[in-house]
Structures are given as structure tokens and as C-alpha cells.
Amino acid sequence: AKGEKRGTCRSFRLGMDAAAQEKTRLENDFRDALKLGQLYVHYQPLVDLTSGAVECFEALLRWHHPVRGSVSPDVFIPLAEEIGLIDAVGRFVLHTACREAQNWPEHIKLAVNVSPLQFRNGNLISTVINALTSANLPPERLELEITEAVLMEKGPRPSAIIRNLRTFGIGIALDDFGTGFSSLSYLLNYPFTKIKIDKSFIFDLERESNSRAVIRAVIGLARNLGLTVTAEGIEREAVRDYLRDEGCLQGQGYLFGRPSPASEMQRYLSCDVRR
Ligand code: C2E
Ligand code: CA
Ligand code: CA
Ligand code: CA
């Protein structure tokens, strides 16, 4: 029994080593990914829940690893943050997405996710303006999606940067709303233009009356603050109809389209009644 115990302990330690090695390997691979052109951007439509018309495309970063295949951004974005590459990655996404959005009809916006860490080094505004300028894209067509984690950053900087971005006409969406810890009063101190209800609430909507209560509260709050509200993770028509009837005007989810390459966006746009 003693031997068994030791064995378990050793293999546990070996397991830890293997996991650490694995992480280091993935980090090293990611350092090469940008240089080797393994990163690319997909787009997912945000639609008007009443008409079905596309209003916006959200840029979602993808990594094709030569051996592992597709790696989730939920894995490699935190990794990029940890090894100090998130600024370079953020620049890549902004420049790529702004360039590709040039080809879309003018009423269609572009949403780009921004990591809270991109607020730290003071370059975010110039990065965003450079990307817009070099693509000749009006700032009003860009919407940055940030999570409430940015509000936890120390000091007045994040709110000053957000205000500055707003003066250019750039939209600011509060992403993953409802998953964090911030009180609603926080919201009033930041000039958000949109709230995105996290998909966990949308997935639970039919089973959980609590989720329905949260959704109803957020829609009411957004309306009172004059903000747009978007629901992500809509996979079924019944869910779309429920949200629309509750007064949610915009939605995103597999029901309308999965994240796809820019070349496939024409397919969505051909369904757009206002084109
Ligand atoms: P997010 O910003 O909340 O993006 C929405 C996620 O929900 C995307 O996952 C999207 O593919 C997924 N989704 C949309 N509709 C549905 C649906 O109907 N059902 C299901 N099951 N999922 C749906 P994805 O592309 O894997 O991205 C995961 C997260 O990675 C994003 O969550 C975002 O936080 C982060 N991310 C992705 N691209 C970037 C980027 O360029 N920069 C930064 N900083 N973060 C990014
Ligand atoms: Ca997002
Ligand atoms: Ca989300
Ligand atoms: Ca997220």
C-alpha cells in the first residue's frame, strides 16, 4: 500500500511536469504563430432580431496550429496575455478586420474584441486610429467589445481611454455582461454604447427562471440608459422569438451564422433586406 501511494504521488508530479512542459510548448508555438501566418480572423453576424438583417460582424481570432489543428481563443488569448503578446495580437486583429470590413456595405459595422491588458501600455488609441486610417474606415463603423475586467484595472486610465475613443465616434460594447462582479452603478460611469448579454444566460433561458429575470432586467436597464442590447448564443428560433418579444433588438448565434471567413460574408449579406 505504501508503494502504491508513492507511485500515485510520483505520477501526479510527473503529470504536473508534463502539463507544464505542454504549456511551454504551446507558448513557444504561439510565439511563432503570428510570424508564420497561422492566425486569421473569422466573422460572425449580429442581426436585427425582427428583420433578420445583418447589422454588424464580430471579428473572432483563430489559430490554426500545424499539428494540433484549431486551438480555441479561450486557450490562446489568455496565453498571449501571459507571455506579453496580446498587444501584437490585438494590432493584428484590428488591422486585418478593418481592412476586410472595407469591402462590406457602409451600414454594416465591425466589432473587435479588446483585452483589458491592451489598456495598460497607452498605445490602444493610436493602434485603433492607425488601423482605421490605413483601411480608410470611418470610426463610427467600429465597435470595441470589452469585458468588465477592464473596470478592475487600477487608476483612472481605462475610463479616460474609453472616453477618448468615444469622442472619435467609436462604439464601446460591454461584453459578457452578467458574468462578472461589477455593480450596475459601474455602468453609469462609463460611456458604453451597447451591452452584450452573455451566452450562459441565453443557454439557460428555457430552464432557469433566474436567467429570464436577469435578461429582462438587463434589457430594461439598457433601454433606460439609451444603450443597445445584444444577446449572444442564440441557437434556436424559440429563443430568438422570446428575446425579441422581451425587447432585445439585436442578436448573435449559430441560428444566424457561425464564425466564418470574410470570403463567406457575402452569403449573409445577400439575405440583408436593406442592401
Ligand atoms: P466572446 O467575445 O464572448 O465571443 C463569443 C463567443 O461565443 C465566440 O467564441 C463565438 O464563436 C461563440 N458563439 C457565438 N454564438 C454562439 C452560439 O450560438 N452557440 C455557441 N455555443 N457559441 C456561440 P470563440 O470564437 O471561441 O471566442 C471565445 C472568446 O475568445 C471570445 O468570447 C473572446 O473573449 C475571445 N476572443 C476571440 N477573438 C478575440 C480577439 O481577437 N481578441 C481578444 N482579446 N479576445 C478574443
Ligand atoms: Ca465579444
Ligand atoms: Ca460572451
Ligand atoms: Ca468572452
Higher pLDDT, 210 or 171: 171
User: Quick one: pLDDT at residue 182?
Assistant: 66
Element (H, E) at 14: helix 2-35
Grid coordinates 499539428 are at which residue? 67
Residue 207, C-alpha cell as written in the block: 430552464
Q: What's the residue count for the chain?
A: 275
Q: Residue 42, by phi and psi: left (phi above 0), alpha (psi -120 to 50) or beta?
A: beta
Which numbered ligand comes closest to the C-alpha of 124? 1
Query: Across residues 172-201, what is the average pLDDT?
Result: 84
Give dist(CA 31, CA 16) in Å, integer: 23
Among the bound ligands, the one closest to the CA of 94: 1
Strands 142-147, 69-71: pairing kind:
unpaired
Q: What are phi and psi of 105, to 5 degrees?
A: -60, 150
CA–centroid distance, 1 to ligand 2, in Å, is 51
**Dist. CA 44 → ligand 1 center (Å):** 9
Whose C-alpha lies nearest to ligand 1, atom 43?
A: 113
60 Cα–ligand 1 center, Å = 6
| 111-153: pLDDT as tens digits | 999 999 999 887 999 999 999 999 999 999 999 999 988 887 7
Which three three-digit cell numbers place residue 230?
445584444
Ligand 3: centre distance to CA 173 (Å): 11
| pLDDT confidence of residue 39 | 98
Residue 167's pLDDT is 97
Q: Quick check: helix, strand or coil at residue 206? A: coil
Grid cell for residue 253: 448565434
Question: For a pLDDT cut of 90, what percent of the chain falls above it?
Answer: 69
Q: Give the lowest-confidence range in 6-10, 99-103, 179-183.
A: 6-10
pTM: 0.92
Q: What gap in Å lies between CA 78 and CA 81, rounded to an integer?
A: 5
The answer to whether 260 and 44 are in contact (CB under 8 A) is yes
The continuous run of DSSP H or E covering 264 comes out as none
User: What residues have a C-beta under 5 A from ligand 4, the ion?
Assistant: 176
Asked if pLDDT for residue 224 goes beyond 80, the answer is yes
Q: Does 275 score more than 60 pLDDT?
A: no
Q: How far is the CA of 242 from the centre of ligand 3 (A)?
A: 19
Choose one of 60, 194, 202, 255 to mutate for the ligand 1 pocket test, by most ligand atoms within 8 angstroms of C-beta.
60
Report residues whose beta carbon is within 6 angstroms of any ligand 1 atom: 44, 59-61, 72-74, 77, 93, 113-115, 145, 175-176, 199, 232-235, 252-254, 259
Average pLDDT, rounded, for the chain: 89
DSSP letter at 136?
Answer: T
Measured by CA distance, the residue closest to atom 32 of ligand 1 is 74
Q: Where are the beta strands (DSSP E) in the chain?
A: 39-48, 54-65, 69-71, 109-113, 142-147, 171-177, 194-197, 228-232, 250-252
What cell was used for 78?
489568455
Q: How much is the ipTM here?
A: 0.98
